[in-house]
C-alpha cells in the first residue's frame, strides 16, 4: 500500500492540473511582470531595458502614494466604521432568534451577491446631481443647490461609502458565525451571575471573538489594498487622480497612457505590498497571542 | 430592570431596522424606477408608485441587449470553473495530505501562495501571455485565471477537511486492490460533500461578478459575461434611464435567486472559509 501511495507518477498526475493553472495564470505573469517592469515597453514595438528607472519614478510618483493613502483610508473605513457596526449588529441578530433573524441576515448580505457592475452603476445614479437619490434626500431637507458627490473633494468619500456599504454583509456574516460559535452555556452562566447585556457583550462576547476579529481585520486590510472593480466603474480614479487605487492606477498606466513597463512596475510593487501586509498582519496577531 | 431591558431592546431593534433599510433601499429605488418612464426620475420624489407598471422596460432590456447570451455564458463559465476547481483541489490535496513524497510541503505552499497574490497585478502580463498562446477572446482566457485564483482557497479548504477525515477506510480500499484514482472517486469524494459544497460556493462567489479580466481578455461578445449586459447597455441607451435600471435589475436577479435558494449553504460557506482561514 505504501508503494501505491508513493507512486511518483500518480502523485504527479494528481497535482499537475493544479500546478499548471498556477504556473500559467499566476507565476508566469509575475515573472513576466518583473521583466517588463525593467523596460520602457509601451505595449507596442520594442522593449528597451531601463534598469530600475520605473521603480525610481514610482517612488516619486505622487499618484502612487495617493493610491496607497486611499487604500489606508478604505481600510480605516472598514475597521473603524463597518466593523464596529457589524459586530454590534451580529450580536443583536444572534439575540433576536426566530424568523426575523434569518430575514435580516439575508437583507444585510444581499448587496454582496449583486454584481459590482450593477452596484457601481446604481451608486452612480444615486449620486447623480440631477435626479439621484442622494440629491432628492438632500432636497427633502431643504437643500437647494445640486450636489455632485463624485466631484472633486468629495469623490473619495463617496467611493468609500459605497465600498463600506457593499462589504458590510460579508463582514457582518463572519462576526455573526463567530458569535454563533460561542457556547450558550457561557451566556447562561453570565445571566445567572446577573450580568447586564452590555456587560455580557464587552466581557464575554468581544474577548471570545478575538480570533474572528483578527481574521476579519486582516481580510479588510487586504481587500482594501486589492480594491479595483467598484472604483474603476464609479470614477475610474478620477476626478484627477483623487480616487485612484493601486489596481486602477496600474491599469490606467498600461491601457490609457501606454506605459506598459511602468504599469508592470506598479504591479510588482503591488504584489510585494500585499504579501508584506499579509505576513505582517499574521506576525502581529500571532505575537500578541503569545504575549497574552 | 425589566423596563431598562425593554428600552435597550427597542434601541437595538431600531438599529437593526435602520441598517436593513440602508442596505435594501438603494435596491428598492432601483427596482422602483425600472418600472416607470424615464422622465419620472426627474419629476417625482424619492419613490413613485408606477401607474401603469411599465413592464415593457423589461422586455426591451431582455431582447434588445445581449442579456440572454451573456447569462448563458456566465452560467457555463461559472459551472466549468466550479467543477474544475473542485476536481483539481481534491486531487491536489489528496496528493499533498495523503501520499508520501518529498515535495508535498513545497507544492502546498506554492498553491497557497495564490491566496496572497492580488488578481489585478496579473492583468497586464497575462494579456501578453494569453495573446502569445492565442487564447485571447476565447473561453479559456476567463476559465484559466478563474480556476487559478479560486484554486488556492479550494485547495486550502479541501486539504484541511481531508486532514480531519480518517484514513482507514481508503486504506482498506487501496489494499482491496482499487487504484488511487478509484479510491479518490468512490471513497474520498463522497466523504467530502460538505467541503466540496463550500468550495463550489466560494468559487461561484469569487467569479460570478468578475468583469475586469473579462474586459481585458475579451473583445468580441462571444464569451462576455453578465456584467457586460449592464456595461454595454448604459452606453447604448444613455438617456433612457428606466431601461438601464431594468437591465441592472435583471442582471442582479440571477445572483439574488441563487442566494435565496442557497442562503443557508452560502452562510455556512462564508463561515467555513472564515473559521478555517
pLDDT, tens digit, 9 for 90 and up, residues B139-148: 999 999 999 9
pLDDT confidence of residue A69: 94
Nearest partner of A53 among A237, A252, A241, A259, judged by Cα: A259
Does residue B16 have a pLDDT over 60? yes
Report the residue of chain A nearest B173, measured CA to CA: A1
B112 is in which domain, residue-wise?
65-276
Q: Where does A59-291 sit in CATH, by number?
A: 1.10.3720.10
* Set of chain B residues whose Cβ sits within 8 Å of the Cβ of A215: 274, 277
Residues B50, B81 within the same domain: no
Inter-helix orientation angle B2-33/A98-113, to 10°: 40
Indicate the residue of A89, A105, A118 with minimum beta-carbon distance to B251.
Answer: A118
User: Does B80 contact chain A (CB < 8 Å)?
Assistant: no
Q: Is B256 exposed, middle or buried (0-12, 13-18, 19+ CB in 10 A)?
A: middle
pLDDT confidence of residue B2: 45
Contact A250 B121 (CB under 8 A): yes
pLDDT in tens, B138-172: 999 999 999 999 999 899 889 888 887 777 777 77
Domains of chain B: total: 2
* Set of chain A residues whose Cβ sits within 8 Å of the Cβ of B96: 15
Q: What value, to the nearest 5°, has the Cα angle with vertex A110 and ends A105 and A111?
A: 130
pLDDT confidence of residue B41: 74
Question: Looking at this predicted complex, what is its ipTM?
Answer: 0.87
Q: Which of residues 119-178 of A touch B (CB under 8 A)?
A: 121-123, 125-126, 130-131, 133, 136-137, 140, 165, 168-170, 173-174, 177-178
Residues B126, B232 within the same domain: yes
pLDDT confidence of residue A263: 92
Does residue B205 have a pLDDT over 70? yes
Region B217-229 average pLDDT: 91
Indicate the residue of B113, B124, B234 with minimum beta-carbon distance to A33.
Answer: B124
* Set of chain A residues whose Cβ sits within 8 Å of the Cβ of B213: none
The C-alpha torsion from A125 through A131 and A137 to A142, rounded to 10°, is: 150
The C-alpha torsion from B68 through B70 and B71 to B75, rounded to 10°, is: 140
User: Does A114 contact chain B (CB < 8 Å)?
Assistant: yes
* Set of chain A residues whose Cβ sits within 8 Å of the Cβ of B199: none
**How much is the mean pLDDT over chain B?**
85
pLDDT confidence of residue A141: 86
Contact B118 A226 (CB under 8 A): yes
pLDDT confidence of residue B110: 86
Contact B122 A33 (CB under 8 A): yes
On the CB side of A68, CA atoms within 13 Å amount to 16
Nearest partner of A183 among A94, A90, A285, A92, judged by Cα: A94
Does residue B9 have a pLDDT over 70? no
Residue carrying C-alpha cell 445581449: B66
pLDDT confidence of residue A257: 80
Among B106-110, B171-175, B224-228, top mean pLDDT goes to: B224-228
d(CA B115, CA B105): 16
Å from B110 to nearest chain A CA? Answer: 8
Residues B120/A229, Cβ–Cβ less than 8 Å:
no
Name which residue leads in pLDDT, B202 or B84: B84
- What's phi and psi for A213, nearest 5 deg? -60, -45
pLDDT in tens, B237-273: 677 888 888 989 999 999 999 998 888 888 887 777 6
Residues B35, B71 within the same domain: no
d(CA B35, CA B29): 10
Residues B139, B185 within the same domain: yes
d(CA B135, CA B238): 33
Contact B99 A14 (CB under 8 A): yes
User: Does A104 contact chain B (CB < 8 Å)?
Assistant: yes
Indicate the residue of A17, A140, A254 with minimum beta-carbon distance to B88.
Answer: A17
d(CA A11, CA B126): 28
Region B91-119 average pLDDT: 86
* Set of chain B residues whose Cβ sits within 8 Å of the Cβ of A44: none
* Set of chain B residues whose Cβ sits within 8 Å of the Cβ of A95: 12
CA distances from B121 to A63, A131, B4, B112, B232 (A): 17, 37, 54, 17, 25
Grid cell at residue A215 = 481574521
Contact B16 A93 (CB under 8 A): yes
Indicate the residue of B212, B226, B263 with minimum beta-carbon distance to A232.
Answer: B212
Grid cell at residue A32 = 513576466
Å from A213 to nearest chain B CA? Answer: 11
CA distances from A162 to A37, A231, A248 (A): 33, 9, 17
Q: Which of residues 37-76 of A touch B (CB under 8 A)?
A: none
* Set of chain B residues whose Cβ sits within 8 Å of the Cβ of A251: 120, 123-124, 212
d(CA A232, CA A124): 12
Name which residue leads in pLDDT, B235 or B198: B198
pLDDT confidence of residue A139: 85
Report the residue of chain B nearest A180, measured CA to CA: B271
Residues B52, B92 within the same domain: no
Contact B227 A1 (CB under 8 A): no
CA distances from A217 to A37, A285, B97, B273 (A): 31, 10, 30, 15
pLDDT confidence of residue B3: 47
Q: Where are the domains of chain A?
A: 59-291
Residues B226/B254, Cβ–Cβ less than 8 Å:
yes
pLDDT-derived band at B8 (thresholds 50, 70, 90) equals low
User: Does A189 contact chain B (CB < 8 Å)?
Assistant: no
pLDDT in tens, chain A (292 residues): 566 677 788 888 888 999 999 998 899 999 999 999 999 888 777 888 888 899 999 999 999 999 999 999 999 999 999 999 999 999 888 888 778 888 898 899 999 889 899 999 999 989 988 888 888 888 888 888 888 888 888 999 999 999 999 999 999 999 998 888 888 888 888 888 888 888 888 888 888 888 889 888 988 998 999 989 999 999 988 898 999 999 999 999 888 888 889 999 999 999 999 999 988 988 888 765 544 3
Locate all alpha helices (DSSP H) within chain B, ordered by sequence.
2-33, 40-43, 56-63, 67-97, 104-113, 123-132, 139-164, 168-175, 180-183, 189-191, 193-207, 212-217, 227-236, 241-276
* Set of chain B residues whose Cβ sits within 8 Å of the Cβ of A181: 275
Residues B86, B127 within the same domain: yes
CATH classification at residue B192: 1.10.3720.10
Amino acid at each position: 500500500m505504501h508503494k501505491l501511495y508513493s507512486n511518483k507518477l500518480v502523485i504527479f498526475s494528481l497535482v499537475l492540473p493544479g500546478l499548471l493553472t498556477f504556473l500559467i495564470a499566476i507565476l508566469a505573469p509575475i515573472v513576466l511582470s518583473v521583466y517588463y517592469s525593467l523596460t520602457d515597453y509601451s505595449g507596442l514595438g520594442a522593449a528597451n531595458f531601463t534598469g530600475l528607472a520605473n521603480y525610481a519614478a514610482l517612488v516619486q510618483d505622487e499618484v502612487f502614494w495617493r493610491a496607497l493613502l486611499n487604500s489606508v483610508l478604505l481600510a480605516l473605513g472598514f475597521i473603524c466604521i463597518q466593523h464596529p457596526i457589524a459586530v454590534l449588529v451580529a450580536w443583536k441578530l444572534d439575540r433576536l432568534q426566530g424568523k426575523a433573524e434569518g430575514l435580516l441576515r439575508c437583507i444585510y448580505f444581499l448587496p454582496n451577491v449583486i454584481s459590482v457592475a450593477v452596484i457601481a452603476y446604481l451608486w452612480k445614479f444615486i449620486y447623480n446631481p440631477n435626479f439621484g437619490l442622494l440629491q432628492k434626500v438632500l432636497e427633502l431637507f431643504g437643500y437647494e443647490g445640486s450636489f455632485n458627490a463624485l466631484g472633486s473633494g468629495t469623490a473619495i468619500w463617496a467611493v468609500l461609502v459605497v465600498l463600506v456599504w457593499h462589504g458590510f454583509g460579508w463582514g457582518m456574516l463572519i462576526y455573526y458565525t463567530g458569535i454563533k460559535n460561542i457556547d450558550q452555556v457561557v451566556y447562561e452562566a453570565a445571566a445567572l451571575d446577573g450580568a447586564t447585556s452590555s456587560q455580557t457583550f464587552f466581557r464575554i462576547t468581544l474577548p471570545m471573538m478575538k480570533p474572528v476579529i483578527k481574521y476579519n481585520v486582516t481580510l479588510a486590510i487586504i481587500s482594501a489594498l486589492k480594491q479595483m472593480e467598484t472604483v474603476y466603474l464609479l470614477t475610474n480614479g478620477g476626478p484627477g487622480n483623487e480616487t485612484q487605487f493601486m489596481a486602477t492606477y496600474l491599469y490606467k498606466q498600461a491601457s490609457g497612457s501606454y506605459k506598459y513597463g511602468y504599469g508592470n512596475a506598479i504591479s510588482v510593487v503591488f504584489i510585494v505590498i500585499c504579501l508584506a501586509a499579509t505576513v505582517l498582519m499574521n506576525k502581529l496577531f500571532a505575537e500578541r497571542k503569545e504575549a497574552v | 430592570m425589566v423596563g431598562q431591558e425593554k428600552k435597550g431592546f427597542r434601541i437595538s431593534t431600531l438599529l437593526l431596522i435602520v441598517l436593513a433599510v440602508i442596505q435594501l433601499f438603494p435596491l428598492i429605488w432601483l427596482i422602483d424606477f425600472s418600472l416607470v418612464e424615464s422622465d419620472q426620475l426627474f419629476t417625482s420624489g424619492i419613490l413613485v408608485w408606477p401607474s401603469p407598471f411599465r413592464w415593457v422596460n423589461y422586455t426591451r432590456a431582455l431582447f434588445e441587449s445581449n442579456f440572454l447570451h451573456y447569462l448563458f455564458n456566465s452560467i457555463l463559465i461559472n459551472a466549468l470553473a466550479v467543477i474544475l476547481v473542485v476536481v483539481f483541489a481534491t486531487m491536489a490535496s489528496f496528493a499533498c495530505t495523503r501520499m508520501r513524497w518529498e515535495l508535498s510541503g513545497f507544492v502546498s505552499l506554492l498553491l497557497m501562495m495564490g491566496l496572497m497574490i492580488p488578481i489585478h497585478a496579473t492583468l497586464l502580463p497575462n494579456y501578453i501571455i494569453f495573446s502569445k498562446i492565442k487564447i485571447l477572446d476565447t473561453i479559456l482566457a476567463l476559465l484559466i485565471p478563474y480556476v487559478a485564483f479560486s484554486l488556492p482557497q479550494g485547495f486550502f479548504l479541501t486539504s484541511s477537511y481531508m486532514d480531519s477525515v480518517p484514513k482507514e477506510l481508503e486504506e482498506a480500499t487501496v489494499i482491496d486492490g482499487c487504484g488511487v484514482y478509484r479510491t479518490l472517486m468512490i471513497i474520498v469524494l463522497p466523504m467530502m460533500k460538505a467541503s466540496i459544497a463550500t468550495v463550489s460556493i466560494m468559487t461561484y462567489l469569487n467569479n460570478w461578478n468578475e468583469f475586469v479580466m473579462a474586459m481585458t481578455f475579451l473583445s468580441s461578445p462571444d464569451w462576455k459575461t453578465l456584467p457586460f449586459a449592464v456595461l454595454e447597455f448604459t452606453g447604448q441607451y444613455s438617456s433612457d434611464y428606466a431601461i438601464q435600471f431594468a437591465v441592472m435589475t435583471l442582471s442582479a436577479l440571477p445572483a439574488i435567486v441563487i442566494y435565496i435558494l442557497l442562503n443557508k449553504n452560502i452562510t455556512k460557506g462564508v463561515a467555513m472559509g472564515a473559521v478555517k482561514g
